[in-house]
Amino acid sequence: KAGVTQTPRYLIKTRGQQVTLSCSPISGHRSVSWYQQTPGQGLQFLFEYFSETQRNKGNFPGRFSGRQFSNSRSEMNVSTLELGDSALYLCASSLGLRSGNTIYFGEGSWLTVV
């Protein structure tokens, strides 16, 4: 069974541009969540989607947005990129929203903003 797949794995963008990252969850998983990982801030929760609806949102500015499609695949978008957005963006999937539903992570998308 394939794991969580994220694309692209690496990308470089310039300040002011926007970026879209993609995530395909494990087959059968309906919940997708996104995290930002930086050396200074650690792992921070961005948002979680279930059945195409955003169910939880972390403390990030409105430049960070996401969506989930009917096949549970998800995308996140960052507009007007800033240098501080350079990070590893991790996508995770689980069967549902209950705390007992184990979360599995993808390999991440490394974003560098120059």
Partner 1 sequence: GEDVEQSLFLSVREGDSSVINCTYTDSSSTYLYWYKQEPGAGLQLLTYIFSNMDMKQDQRLTVLLNKKDKHLSLRIADTQTGDSAIYFCAERGNSDMRFGAGTRLTVKP
Give residues in contact with partner 1 (CB under 8 A): 4, 6, 33, 35, 42-43, 45, 48, 56, 58, 90, 92, 99-100, 102-108
Distance CA 72, CA 24 (A): 7
Peptide bond just before 25 cis, omega within 30 deg: no
How many other C-beta atoms lie within 10 A of the C-beta of residue 23?
Answer: 27
Give the 3-state secondary structure of residue 84.
Answer: helix
For the CB of residue 16, give the shortest distance to partner 1 in the complex, in Å: 28
Nearer to partner 1, 78 or 90 (CB): 90
For the CB of residue 88, give the shortest distance to partner 1 in the complex, in Å: 8
For the CB of residue 100, give the shortest distance to partner 1 in the complex, in Å: 6
Which is it for the CA torsion 15, 55, 96, 98, positive or negative?
positive
Nearer to partner 1, 16 or 96 (CB): 96
Distance CA 86, CA 28 (A): 31
Q: Find, among 70, 67, 71, the residue nearest to 57 by Cα.
A: 67
Nearer to partner 1, 59 or 70 (CB): 59
For the CB of residue 113, give the shortest distance to partner 1 in the complex, in Å: 19
Nearer to partner 1, 11 or 58 (CB): 58
